Amino acid sequence: MDEQSDLQLTSGGLKKLGNLVNLKDSTVANAIKERGGGQGQVNQVRSDYQSLKVGELANMAAAGDAEAETAIKIIKQANKKREKYGN
């Protein structure tokens, strides 16, 4: 883990993020866009989750929040949409 960051990932949160651990300090909306997603994918995420940091969302998903889990899946799939449709 990165000691410079104030955000501490739980072991479950780290597992949920997987290869997205480098985005843990980005907001959810920015992470989706960085990975090639559009505003439509950002809008699929609950509005109060869009401004959360990805790491916070991962910790929530690890604690059993199903909507946080879905938001992480949307972030992960943003890259696949870019590859398929060429944003």
- The answer, yes or no, to whether residue 29 has pLDDT greater than 70, is yes
> Are 81 and 36 contacting, i.e. CB atoms less than 8 angstroms apart?
yes
Domain boundaries, the chain: 11-85
User: Which pair of tokens denotes residue 42?
Assistant: 């950002």
Local confidence band at 79 (pLDDT 50, 70, 90 cut-offs): confident
- The proportion of the chain whose per-residue pLDDT surpasses 90, expressed as a percent, equals 76
| pTM confidence score | 0.83
- Which of 3-7, 29-33, 41-45, 52-56 is the least confident region? 3-7
- The answer, yes or no, to whether residue 2 has pLDDT greater than 80, is no
**For the residues 24-36, what does the mean pLDDT come to?**
95
Local confidence band at 80 (pLDDT 50, 70, 90 cut-offs): confident
